[in-house]
Amino acid sequence: MVVNVHALAFAAAAAIALTQPSPAPAAIPAPKLEGITLGEDPAAVMRRFAVNPRTAQITESNGMKELMFSSTTDDADLTIIFDTRIRYIAALAPGKHSAGSDPFGIAFGDSPDRVERVRGKPDAITPQGDYYYESGGDAWTYEFQDGKLILISVSDL
């Protein structure tokens, strides 16, 4: 009788694998933009960016608060929308060009072609030519002016 050692080894390994629990799927990190993470505590963001909540102009609508302030790293104007946690982050930097403003390596000043090369075909393109990508319940938007990227935003709303 001829025994296929490789087949026996494969069968043994398969039997062991069936009795072992599957590893838990790797957690997908929360989206981050300009050092701010979706889901983060708004008070922590304000402390990190030296925004005084007593003097900041925070607007409120439908239970959500909005705050605009300046980035301490690359001259971008930042907007956050939050309730008990950060739900929307936007960075606006017209006329700027910086390396890697988002986790994908997209930078202010990039062209729509570059964004599409890096991120792939957008899920939607607005009538104004802005690119929209949705992934895992989060939405990324890239807005352009004169063929240059001027705003990046991410939201879980």
Count of structural domains, the chain:
1
Of 9-23, 26-40, 72-86, which has the strongest mean pLDDT? 72-86
User: Could you report the per-residue pLDDT of 125-147, keeping only the tens digit for each?
Assistant: 999 999 999 988 899 999 999 99
User: Could you report the per-residue pLDDT of 52-65, keeping only the tens digit for each?
Assistant: 988 889 999 999 99
Residue 19 lies in a domain: no
Q: Residue 10 above 70 pLDDT? A: no
Q: Residue 4 above 50 pLDDT? A: no
Q: Provide CB contacts within 8 A for 43, sequence distance 6+.
A: 53
DSSP state, 26?
P
Residue 24 lies in a domain: no
List the CATH number of the domain containing 85.
3.40.33.10
User: Comparing C-alpha atoms, which of 32, 119, 123 is closest to residue 80?
Assistant: 32
User: Domain span at residue 90?
Assistant: 32-155
In the chain, helix, strand, coil percent, each to 5?
20, 30, 50
| Farthest-apart Cα atoms in the chain, separation | 86
